[in-house]
Structure 1
């Protein structure tokens, strides 16, 4: 590999520079909102000088993935995540798998109130949709801010796939919005994923 100066390890969502000073190469992307270049994957940042005959004098920033990392969530991917915190307008979760492969790094996801379900969005109650510890199947919408992926459960096959009850049992889905504890018979509200998806 050719020597490209000092290489720095970066992670997804890390700011690499302003679009006015740098071009986004492989492993990097530009946010149209703030015209900033961000890292799209975990790897080593390198700066490639512009070609001699180029009119654009900005160097290109690239991120070359290091080989040790596992799968990385990307927009459009289906992920399995464990809910860690539920607030009034959103829930946060740790992404455990991208498709069938488990991740080797920590990726955080956020499910916003408007992304929980496709209908009656304004009536979504986050605490009636998820609880900490729930395992959810979700769609990656985008790499949001603060290095957290925006996730959606707004399709029938997305939502809570596994949840533990207060009695410590694995709850059984009984409808789109309810799961029941097989031990106590207690019913709890959830945004349930359609089985067999």
Structure 2
């Protein structure tokens, strides 16, 4: 009986879908609360389920969970550090496919967007996206939030965030030579990048 009831209440949801208000629901696995509007969102594709509170619990809100319909891989959430491959660079944003979350590989496709104001911490208005990233670059970034169109907003504004691996036009793995430049070991060609600080 309980299993049948549970099956009836389960509905398939996708990342960014509204699950309810934080005033009425607690965010469990596969869900998170936006502090901006107090709304609970799904953070992965899966089935929504409600877990009622214990009768003696102080907080009488039900917990909403999203159980992945695929084998559980890592899921980005605000505050996660991710590695992503840059796919497209435009005037004000860059897109990237997230490949790793907190050192764990992902099994679903998650897209990240780096906005111009989130590239670095200083002189934000002077950021040139084409001088910060190139398609194919591997970046280390911080997840800020689940943004528009079910893509995560990413930031590379800290020193340790930014491009960690890049390939030059000649096909060589580039070496960082400053905060803003990487060099091809094959040709000596220097290219601009928002370079991640190498950990000692």
TM-score by length of 2: 0.82
Alignment partner, residue 130 of structure 1:
133
1:27-66 correspondence runs (5 A): 27-31=30-34, 37-46=40-49, 61-66=64-69
- CA displacement at 1:143 relative to structure 2: 1.4
SS in 1 for 2:117: helix
2:98 touches 2:109 (CA, 8 Å); kept in 1? yes
Give 1:50 shift: 9.8
Q: Counterpart of 1:122 in 2: which secondary structure?
A: helix
Deviations 1:77-131 (A, max 9, x none): 1110000011111111000001221111101111111111111111110000000
The number of equivalent residue pairs is 191
Q: How far apart, CA to CA, are the structure 1 residues paired with 2:9 and 2:145?
A: 30
- Do the aligned residues in 2 keep the contact of 1:69 with 1:105 (CA within 8 Å)? no
Return the alpha-carbon distance in structure 2 between the equivalents of residues 9 and 134 of structure 1.
34
Contact 2:142 2:155 in 1 (8 A): yes
More helix by share: 2
1:153 corresponds, among 156, 162, 185, to 156
- The residue number in structure 2 matching 1:55 is none
- Are the equivalent residues in 1 in contact too, given 2:27–2:33 (CA < 8 A)? no
1:135/1:163 contact within 8 Å kept: yes
Distance 1:184-1:140 versus aligned 2 partners, 3 A rule: same
* Larger CA deviation: 124-133 vs 62-71: 62-71
List gaps (5 residues or longer) in structure 2.
55-60
